């Protein structure tokens, strides 16, 4: 498989490339080796944090806001359209404070708790195991449960697995039946703790490895498909954590996680919509920096697991800004601009290159928190630019990856590293190719000449496209206003003897369909 060619041209900070950039992109469709882009790359993360759950996914059956048995209808419909493949819950840091018995049984009898991780908000536990797993069934997505290692016990975790997945006549399984669910749920993904190096217990990797080994003994398989057990992995560049877990846990885990955020210098980066040119490229550079970070983690994994039996999961990623003025600092509510959409597109293009090892990625978070798909306010809802990127990229789910070859001058903007002048990812499914192209430049257009192995022999090629861009990279969709950013039909392309010429506006994302 040929790799993307990058010309390593040293540019000064804030340097300018030509006003109109041009790049030839060749798709090696004949070199596709059957590697499938798992739909779980487009996973979502839902935590008891701010209004992600209460007011976002869940309003309760007695709410004046239209709902389906308590699930907020406008949010549900939007997620249904998105075809989300997997949903992670209940955290995040909240997971290691969560005791599942608090969230079952009659709602009026469930204990109220203080969310000590996120703003001290009081929660009534009306959204618990049944509510989450039933929602996943309605959305036709896989649930991903994060188990409590930090403040819980192996017995508590074992009984939770039994409660959810056992079809026996045990006391625990009968408790589920008494609470209204006869058959077990199909729970595949199960995390043994979260961020064990921090809010999940402040552990050393050696200690956590032993804890993982002990807890997994008691998280037994009650279904035909065994539990897919996920180890709490590193934050960003903590390669020693990955090395230790691979050495001490090895094949006892199905996967190990990594967390990576862009824009985490919250005091310096400002709010989501407040940034200058440096702030724009600085965050895109940090987002692109996930590629060398993941490559280093995968290199470590390859040394201990050359057959790739252990998967890598990016189960938290996205942008992280200072909260919107006037909101609770512990609720992490932020707006979502065209810059966030660029981060999403660049990140997804990277993930799709490495799916021989990376099998899942869950953006943080699905509603009202960090880089959300959806924002709500009372009975109002808006779809963010990031939502539209995920909607446009749905075509890559479970498709065959096609290598792309092109040259790209790096834009060296910040200490975070380089921003490429172009990012391309391609796939094929049922004989149809889809190509996602990103022009990150905020002030330069980019002409792309696209061809593929069978281009010259193809007679009746039909190419259509959709584009997402904005008049200003600071633009966002706000409550009570017409959307400023939404996908539109893309028409600025034409065929010539060399390929399909695609004219990309500045700061734009285009997805082409080629039949």
Rg of the chain, C-alpha, whole Å = 23
- Count of helices and strands (H, E) across the chain: 11, 29
Q: HEC profile for 24-49?
A: EEEECHHHCCCCEECHHHHEEECCCC
SS3 breakdown of the chain: % helix, strand, coil, rounded to 5? 30, 30, 40
Token readout for 387 is 């939502």
Q: What are phi and psi of 486, to 5 degrees?
A: -155, 150
Helices (H), 249-399: 266-269, 277-288, 290-304, 338-351, 385-392
Q: Three-state DSSP class for 157?
A: helix
Asked, as a colleague might, if the bond just before 92 is cis with ω within 30 of 0, I would say yes
User: Alpha-carbon distance 62 to 72, whole Å?
Assistant: 11
Q: What burial class does residue 245 get, using C-beta atoms within 10 Å of its C-beta: 0-12 exposed, 13-18 middle, 19+ buried?
A: buried
Q: Which residues are catalytic?
A: 195, 316
User: Alpha-carbon distance 400 to 37, whole Å?
Assistant: 6
User: Alpha-carbon distance 452 to 433, whole Å?
Assistant: 10
Separation in Å, CA 129 to CA 149, 190, 273, 299? 17, 13, 36, 37
Contact 484, 432 (CB under 8 A): no
Separation in Å, CA 274 to CA 318, 324, 335, 377, 483? 17, 10, 10, 21, 19
Non-local CB neighbours of 268 within 8 Å, separated by 6+ positions: none
Helices (H), 48-182: 73-82, 129-139, 154-165, 171-178
Q: HEC profile for 370-411?
A: CCCCEEEECCEEEECHHHHHHHHHHHHCCEEEECEEEEECEE
Non-local CB neighbours of 378 within 8 Å, separated by 6+ positions: 65
């Amino acid at each position: 498989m040929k790799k993307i060619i990058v010309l390593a041209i040293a540019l000064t900070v804030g340097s300018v490339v030509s006003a109109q950039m041009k790049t030839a992109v060749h798709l090696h469709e004949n070199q596709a080796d059957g590697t499938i882009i798992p739909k779980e790359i487009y996973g979502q993360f839902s935590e008891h944090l701010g209004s992600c759950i209460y007011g976002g996914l869940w309003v309760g059956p007695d709410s004046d806001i239209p709902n389906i048995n308590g699930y907020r209808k406008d949010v549900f419909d939007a997620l249904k359209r998105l075809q989300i493949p997997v949903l992670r819950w209940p955290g995040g840091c909240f997971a290691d404070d969560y005791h599942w018995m608090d969230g079952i049984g009659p709602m009026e009898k469930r204990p109220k708790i203080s969310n000590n991780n996120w703003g001290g908000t009081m929660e009534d536990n009306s959204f618990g195991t049944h509510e989450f797993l039933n929602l996943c069934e309605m959305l036709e997505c896989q649930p991903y449960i994060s188990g409590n290692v930090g403040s819980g016990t192996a017995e508590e975790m074992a009984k939770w697995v039994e409660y959810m997945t056992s079809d026996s006549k045990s006391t625990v399984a009968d408790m589920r039946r008494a609470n209204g669910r006869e058959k077990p749920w199909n729970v595949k993904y199960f995390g043994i703790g979260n961020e064990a190096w921090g809010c999940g217990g402040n552990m050393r990797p050696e200690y956590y490895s032993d804890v993982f080994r002990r807890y997994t003994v008691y998280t037994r398989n009650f279904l035909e498909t065994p539990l897919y057990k996920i180890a709490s992995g590193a934050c960003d560049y903590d390669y020693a954590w990955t090395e230790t877990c691979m050495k001490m846990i090895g094949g006892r885990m199905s996967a190990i996680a990594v967390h990576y955020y862009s824009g985490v210098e919250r005091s310096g980066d400002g709010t989501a919509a407040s940034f200058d040119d440096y702030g724009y490229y600085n965050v895109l550079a940090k987002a692109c920096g996930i590629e060398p970070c993941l490559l280093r983690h995968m290199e470590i994994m390859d040394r201990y697991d050359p057959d790739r039996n252990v998967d890598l999961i990016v189960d938290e990623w996205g942008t992280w800004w200072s909260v919107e003025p006037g909101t609770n600092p512990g609720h992490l509510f932020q707006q979502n601009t065209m810059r966030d959409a660029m981060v999403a597109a660049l990140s997804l293009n990277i993930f799709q290159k490495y799916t021989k090892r990376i099998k899942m990625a869950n953006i943080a978070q699905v509603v009202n928190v960090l880089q959300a798909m959806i924002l709500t306010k009372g009975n109002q809802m808006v779809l963010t630019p990031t939502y539209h990127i995920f909607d446009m990229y749905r075509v890559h789910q479970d498709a065959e990856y096609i290598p792309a070859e092109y040259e790209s001058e790096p834009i060296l903007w910040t200490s975070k590293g380089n921003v490429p002048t172009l990012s391309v990812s391609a796939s094929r499914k049922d004989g149809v190719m889809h190509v996602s192209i990103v022009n990150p430049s905020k002030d330069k257009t980019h002409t792309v000449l696209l061809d593929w192995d069978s281009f010259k022999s193809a007679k009746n090629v039909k190419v259509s496209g959709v584009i997402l861009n904005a008049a200003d990279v600071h633009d966002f969709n706000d409550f009570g206003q017409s959307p400023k950013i939404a996908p539109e039909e893309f028409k600025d392309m034409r065929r010539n003897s060399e390929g399909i010429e695609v004219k990309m506006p500045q700061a734009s994302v285009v997805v082409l369909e080629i039949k």
